[in-house]
Amino acid sequence: DTFVPLSRSEKAVSYLKRVNAYRAYQEAWADIRYDFRMDRVVYLIKQNNRVIDAAGRGLAGQKPKWWRYGKSGYPFVCGTGRVGILLEDCASACCVSDVFSGIALLGTNLLDTHLPILKGYDKVLVALDKDATVKGLQLVRKLQSHVSTGLIVLNKDLKDMTNDERRDTLKKYAN
């Protein structure tokens, strides 16, 4: 009841633009709302086009920064590419969705509920934040028996890169 159109909050729209996720919203690659009660940008998590969960990013420095509204255990997926980029958060998943499918773990843990989704991709590239590179390598080892898998070592978070930086970083791993 507290989720309203994103356009009801200039702060929410500004946040999406800052993290390069606004295009995913505009193109309807992701269903993104604003939670006026909790002051959060909310990314709806869907299964078969049905909302099953949501993850919200606080806009006013509240703790926790990310809030999981349900307990589905499903990742947030944005995009329709045959190559999936496994990321930590929804904004990062949105910023790669013009070419790839961004898949947000909503943290750094791979759950059993993630595997059936990840097996549906031709290739999965793990691209966690730089401080989680060791964890990313562990995820690659766990996934490689299920799907073609690779690791992208990031020096900068994808959502903080310019479009050119992001394109150049991901292009070399796409094939």
> How is the beta sheet containing 123-126 ordered, strand by strand?
76-78, 101-104, 83-87, 123-126, 149-151
Using CA atoms, how far apart are residues 68 and 64, in angstroms rounded to an integer?
Answer: 10
Instruction: Tell me if 143 sits within 8 A of 126, measured CB to CB.
Output: yes
Which pLDDT tens digit goes with each residue over 114-131?
Answer: 999 999 999 999 999 888
Tokens representing residue 80 in the block: 């329709």
**pLDDT over 90 (residue 143):** yes
What mean pLDDT do residues 13-36 have? 97
Q: For residues 94 and 76, what is the distance between their CA atoms, to the nearest angstrom?
A: 9
* pLDDT band at residue 175 using 50, 70 and 90 as cut-offs: low
**Backbone angles phi and psi of 106, in degrees to 5:** 65, 50
Work out the mean pLDDT of the chain and round it to a whole number. Answer: 94
What's the pLDDT tens digit per position in 95-117?
999 889 999 999 889 999 999 99
Would you state the pLDDT for residue 167?
A: 85
Per-residue pLDDT tens over the stretch 41-70: 999 999 999 999 999 999 999 999 999 999
pTM: 0.93
Residue 155: predicted pLDDT: 87
pLDDT in tens, 70-82: 999 999 999 999 9
| DSSP states of the chain | --EEEGGG-HHHHHHHHHTT-HHHHHTTSS-EEEETTTTEEEEEEEETTEEEEEEEEESSS-SSSEEE-S---PPEEE---SEEEEESSHHHHHHTTTTSEEEE-SSSPPPGGGHHHHTTSSEEEE---GGGHHHHHHHHHHHTTTS-EEE---SS-GGGS-HHHHHHHHHTT--
